[in-house]
Copies of this chain bind each other. A is one copy, B any other.
Amino acid sequence: MDSRKPASIRDVAQMAGVSIATVSRVINNNGRFSEATRQRVLEAIKSCGYVTNMAAKSLRSSQSKTIGMIVPDISNDFYSTLALYAEQELARSGYSVFVCNSANNDERERSYIRTLVSKRVDGIICISGSNALSEEAIPQSIPVVCVDRYPGVDSSIPRVISEDERGGLLATEHLIACGCHHILFITSAVEDLNKQNRERGYQRALAQHGIPASDTYRLLLPGHRPSMDEAEQLVKAFLAEGRPLDGIFAVSDHAAVGALAALQAAAVDVPGTVKLVGFDDSIYTRIATPSITSVQRFPQKLAHEGCAALLRLIVGEQAPVETVVPVELVERASTVGAR
């Protein structure tokens, strides 16, 4: 029977001929009750199609079994992979997750946070995103973790991040080992700490091999949204200048793909003349021809560590302020020729 309004614990109690307290007890398997009672209650629940009203339960117990997830743009391959794993893991622990696409916009982010607070989420997981987190917007009482994002200077919010600097180092050293001397670096004008660290790795590799760093070999994408087209235009312009070039390290696969398009348009052989390395090891690296060498960041591991930390905070335990997830260079045709 599907009456107008959903059955409440009260209806169940009536059907089973017990009090609402008893129903609550068997539902939550909490307190004592006889097996016979349990059976009757369970039957009543089934027969009237009772479903717990979480609004009421949350109000009473002040926990919503709900997590807010803030992510710049779920349509981005790397972010959405992270988001997928995080959602799966949280769901397994009984949490529903609100997804909030902030578009890296501070005001949007604040607005989402307000909503999450009013929805009384049990925790917030911030995935990627370039800005320092607007912590003032979040009450002390609600646990937060950042994944692939730096919450801001001297923030105590736990963060789970990749070995960004090492990634930059590995990428650049690989290019150097492949014989590159004139290595172009592509990043965003709006740099977050992730990217700064990758650049530091790049600089370190150059320094270690006595290759001078030059600002003319540093290309800046306008926004912090990784844009293939912008990267393509920038690299085309660079190529037009005719400077020597034999390697490119891009801080994201998006940029790497754009760079590849520019090289191909200019009939520059990859990896013959110029070698190319990206970052994230996203699906794009395998679709491009030649396939693109990239730095794998293990999004599943990042998501897992992030969820673990958040869940720990929620139950009142401590979580490490910083968890670092290793990276790994995956060599592909854009640097090593044969696939």
User: Is there contact, CB below 8 Å, between B88 and A83?
Assistant: no
Which residues 163-211 of A sit at the B interface, judged by CB distance below 8 A?
A: none
Residue-wise interface mask of A (51-81) relative to B, using a CB-CB cutoff of 8 A (1 in contact, 0 not): 1111110110000101001000111010011
Number of contacting residues on A, CB 8 A?
53
Cβ of A6 within 8 Å of any chain B Cβ, yes or no, is yes
Looking at the complex, which of A10-18, A114-122, A152-160, A217-225 is the stretch in contact with chain B?
A: A114-122
**Which of chain B's residues have a CB closer than 8 A to the CB of A268?**
none
**Partner among B58, B84, B96, B264 whose Cβ is within 8 Å of the Cβ of A55:** B58
Chain copies in the assembled complex: 2
Q: A98-B98, A140-B2, A284-B287 are in contact. Are A59 and B53 (CB under 8 A)?
A: yes
Cβ of A101 within 8 Å of any chain B Cβ, yes or no, is yes
Residue-wise interface mask of A (106-148) relative to B, using a CB-CB cutoff of 8 A (1 in contact, 0 not): 0000001011111110000000000000000001110000000
**Partner among B6, B58, B101, B115 whose Cβ is within 8 Å of the Cβ of A87:** B101
Residue-wise interface mask of A (273-313) relative to B, using a CB-CB cutoff of 8 A (1 in contact, 0 not): 00000000001101111000000000000000000000000
List A residues at the B interface (Cβ < 8 Å): 2, 4-6, 49, 51-56, 58-59, 64, 66, 69, 73-75, 77, 80-81, 83-84, 87-88, 91, 96-101, 112, 114-120, 139-141, 228, 257, 264, 283-284, 286-289
Contacts A4-B141, A66-B98 aside, 5 further interface pairs with beta carbons under 8 A come to: A6-B139, A49-B139, A55-B58, A91-B100, A96-B100
